[in-house]
């Protein structure tokens, strides 16, 4: 019989995709009001990997990533996705999003995103939300998976995620 252990707390990471960079500040304020202080913010990253958001938001699109100081319980991810969906709705115009908010978390060995879209490799975590194992950390770097979105493989994104992982390990006092 296996021994049940408490899961490690995780580092909350939230990405924003938008055309209007001015939205980043008010959205970030709402995120910090809900999830606490931000500790690492990415530079503006180009986002030209898919047509999916262009029809809704226009172009050019940009991404900005935020990691949060307070660690979360992994099983809070579904509630966090629901909360970020609610923030997205506040910035809709004519039933179109002006910002896409993607929450996820970092652990020592993986980066996971939350989504409302089911697919074969996604695991249902409750409340109509699925967890997408996006990247695995092994042999000193992140390893892509067949379904990893191309924007998470870009050099500047991987550099950001490595920095967040180092901070997460520091937050955990290296207890791995």
pLDDT tens by residue, 52-96 = 899 999 999 999 999 999 999 999 999 999 999 999 999 999 999
Classify burial at 90, counting beta carbons within 10 Å of its beta carbon; exposed 0-12, middle 13-18, buried 19 or more. Answer: exposed
Give CA–CA dist 118/129, Å, rounded: 8
β-bridge partners, 40: 67
Report d(CA 111, CA 78) in Å as an integer. 15
pLDDT in the model for residue 63: 97
The confidence score (pLDDT) of residue 65 equals 98
Give residue 52's pLDDT: 87
Question: H or E segment at 16?
Answer: strand 10-18
According to CATH, the superfamily of the domain at 10-169 is ACT domain (3.30.70.260)
Show me where the domains of the chain are located. Answer: 10-169
pLDDT at site 172 = 83
Below-50 pLDDT ranges, the chain:
174, 176
pTM: 0.95
Bridge partners (DSSP) listed for residue 10 = 72
């Amino acid at each position: 019989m296996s021994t049940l252990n408490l899961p490690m707390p995780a580092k909350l990471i939230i990405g924003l995709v938008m055309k209007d960079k001015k939205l980043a500040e008010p959205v970030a304020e709402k995120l910090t009001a809900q999830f606490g202080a931000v500790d690492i913010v990415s530079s503006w990253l180009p986002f030209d990997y898919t047509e999916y958001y262009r029809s809704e938001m226009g172009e050019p699109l940009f991404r900005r990533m935020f990691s949060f100081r307070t660690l979360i319980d992994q099983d809070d991810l579904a509630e966090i996705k629901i909360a970020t969906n609610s923030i997205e709705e506040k910035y809709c115009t004519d039933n179109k999003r002006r910002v896409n908010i993607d929450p996820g978390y970092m652990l020592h060995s993986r980066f996971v995103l939350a989504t409302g879209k089911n697919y074969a490799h996604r695991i249902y975590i409750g409340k109509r939300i699925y967890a997408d194992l996006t990247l695995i950390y092994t042999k000193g770097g992140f390893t892509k998976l067949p379904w990893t979105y191309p924007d998470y493989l870009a050099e500047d994104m991987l550099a950001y995620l490595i920095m967040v992982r180092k901070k997460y390990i520091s937050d955990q006092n290296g207890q791995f």
